[in-house]
Amino acid sequence: MEFTEEITNQLEELARQCIKDPSLLYNPKLLFIKQLIEHYGGKVPQAKEANSSSDAKCEFQSKPAEPQPDSESEESDLELDMTGVIEPDSESPQKMGNLTLQPTEEEIAESQTKRSEAVSAFMEKDYEKAIQFYTEAIVLNPHVALLYAKRGQIFLLLKKPNACIRDCDRAIELNPDNAAAHKFRGRAYHLLGKFEEAANDLRLACKLDFDEQADEWLRETTPNARKIEEHKRKKERKAQEKLEHEKQERLRKAREAAKAREENTRTSQTDAGNSGIPGDFYQFLKDPEVLQAFQDPEVAEAFMDISKNPANILKYQNNPKIMALINTMASKFGGMPGGMPGGMPTGAGGCRPKPTPEDDVGLD
């Protein structure tokens, strides 16, 4: 491409305008400049930031641009061929027929006449007049899908894809198997850069009624549609992998928490043994006879007292209820709380019994 002085001056003026008002770069016609800036590490202010700041500047950066969220970086990796994509039309919606009305025979006949006039105008490439006749035919008989599809075709020729899509939507609503409506709507979607929707419509059009032009349009839009489909599958895989990672992380934390609780429980049992209660204290409560005895508050209190200080057993040597439990536990478990030995001799758990008058005989 030869850069004449005139072209260079125009480019310089465009650059000055974009520096003065970066929001211009969000115009669909200038998006290629924005992509060029970002490709070389530049950063363009967000549209809302550009509108709110009169002195915002679009600047090239020598250092790499700041990392963007994953979704944005993934979108930037998707390179599509935008050849043929145009700026969307924004005119007021065209006039549609009233589907609640049932036309008379005279209206149906007049609608067919208007359709013939529309076809003649179309053949003469008088597209505005053809649209007018098709609109009159639609108003007279709003239930004919083909009238909407043919008017949509003319909107497509006039580079008005949104108007074409509205007409084709109505045609497909009246007749889902209308191949022409799917064909023209598919092409309109392509002009708007909606390649997946375009491919779906054009595939169906070829399936319903194969058409060479529809097939050509389908082959044109298929590469972009496949790229988008693969891109979506990639995003879905990443989303699933993220969910699986989060699930595994939750399981790991749950296992760690369970392990910590188990260690705390062991520590608590050890502390209990060090405080005078044996670590295997709970084995006593598994014995029905011992458990029954502990239902008596007096017995339970005495047991805790002895557990804290084995010498306190002397306080209960005359209490048959307490001594019976102590002897039972000693015989069954081979030991007593606080480290007292099991297998107590007659008397009170190894303590010498009080002397009786008979014991005093012969001591002199």
pLDDT of residue 334: 60
Confidence bin at 45 (pLDDT 50/70/90): confident
Q: What is the average pLDDT score of the chain?
A: 79
Which one-letter amino acid corresponds to residue 303? F
Domains of the chain: 5-65 (no CATH), 105-227 (1.25.40.10), 282-352 (1.10.260)
92-106, 297-311, 336-350: least confidently modelled range: 336-350
Please compute the mean of the pLDDT values over residues 310-328 and round it to a whole number: 84
pLDDT of residue 345: 39
pLDDT in tens, 298-308: 888 888 888 77
> Which one is predicted more confidently, 98 or 340?
98
pLDDT of residue 96: 93
pLDDT in tens, 128-167: 999 999 999 999 999 999 999 999 999 999 999 999 999 9
Sign of CA dihedral 16, 22, 24, 29: positive
**3-class state of residue 59 by DSSP:** strand
**How far is 338 from 303, CA to CA, in rounded Å?**
11
pLDDT of residue 347: 39
**How far is 42 from 22, CA to CA, in rounded Å?**
13
Please compute the mean of the pLDDT values over residues 196-220 and round it to a whole number: 96
Confidence bin at 248 (pLDDT 50/70/90): very high
Q: Tell me the DSSP string of 307-346.
A: HH-GGGGGGGTT-HHHHHHHHHHHHHHSEEGGGEESS--T
pLDDT of residue 271: 54
H-run or E-run covering 261? helix 212-274
**How far is 85 from 220, CA to CA, in rounded Å?**
12
User: String of b and e for 192-204 (b: at least 16 CB within 10 Å)?
Assistant: bbbbbbbbbbbbb
Helices 179-191 & 145-157 angle (0-180, nearest 10): 30
